[in-house]
Chain A
């Protein structure tokens, strides 16, 4: 299997611009997670989906952040407008057989907002 695929791997954007991060989970996995990793806060869960339905978005920092999963093989995390404090690594991950089971991470999207 190809694993969890994220794009872009790196993005540098100007403050105020819209950022869209994309994720293709592992085929057959019914849970999809979006995490954000920074030195200060570590790994934070932003939102997760089960069977394409958002279950818990309490980790989404602000209304500027939104996530969608239109089908089982694709999800997006959008930041609009972006701010410098959004600079982080954003990971998508997927799993099967329960929300607390082994999670498979993508390689991350490294976002820098200047």
Chain B
């Protein structure tokens, strides 16, 4: 079963705007990761944030993690048409040696 639930399911913005996607999960985690999937391609890892971290940056990406609310957000600043893709959060539960659990993703469309 999926642990991560992304919100919104779909998002459409103009180029240059910021895009914010949210992820909620149910159980305690070791880390949370965000992945990107271009149409017809495999998923690509973007960023990992550990449970003892609150915020992380990578280029135009900013990820926050609130373990008390069991939620994370991914912010893409100054979006570009090339950012059009689906974005997935994945959590590593801390209940033993358990693989990542993926959400269903947010489909982002950036309109030029």
Q: Given known contacts A42-B2, A56-B99, A99-B97, is B45 in contact with A104 (CB within 8 Å)? A: yes
> Is B73 in contact with chain A by the CB < 8 A criterion?
no
Q: How many A-B residue pairs have CB under 8 A?
A: 52
As a 0/1 sequence over residues 83 to 114 of chain A, the CB contacts with chain B under 8 angstroms (1 = contact) are: 00000000101000001111111111000000
In the assembly, what is the distance between CA of A93 and CA of B45, in Å?
11
Contact A91 B104 (CB under 8 A): no
As a 0/1 sequence over residues 89 to 112 of chain B, the CB contacts with chain A under 8 angstroms (1 = contact) are: 010110001111111110000000
Within 8 A of A (CB), among B34-75: 35, 41-45, 48
In the assembly, what is the distance between CA of A4 and CA of B44, in Å?
12
In the assembled complex, which residues on chain B have CB atoms less than 8 Å from the CB atom of A43?
Answer: 43, 88, 102, 104-105
Number of B positions contacting A (CB below 8 A): 24
Contact A100 B92 (CB under 8 A): yes
> Is B20 in contact with chain A by the CB < 8 A criterion?
no
Q: Give, as a whole number of angstroms, the nearest-CB distance from A89 to chain B.
A: 9
In the assembled complex, which residues on chain A have CB atoms less than 8 Å from the CB atom of B101?
Answer: 45
Q: Give, as a whole number of angstroms, the nearest-CB distance from A93 to chain B.
A: 8
Sampled A-B contacts (14; CB under 8 Å): A42-B102, A43-B88, A43-B102, A43-B105, A99-B99, A100-B92, A100-B93, A100-B98, A100-B99, A100-B100, A102-B33, A102-B48, A105-B42, A105-B44
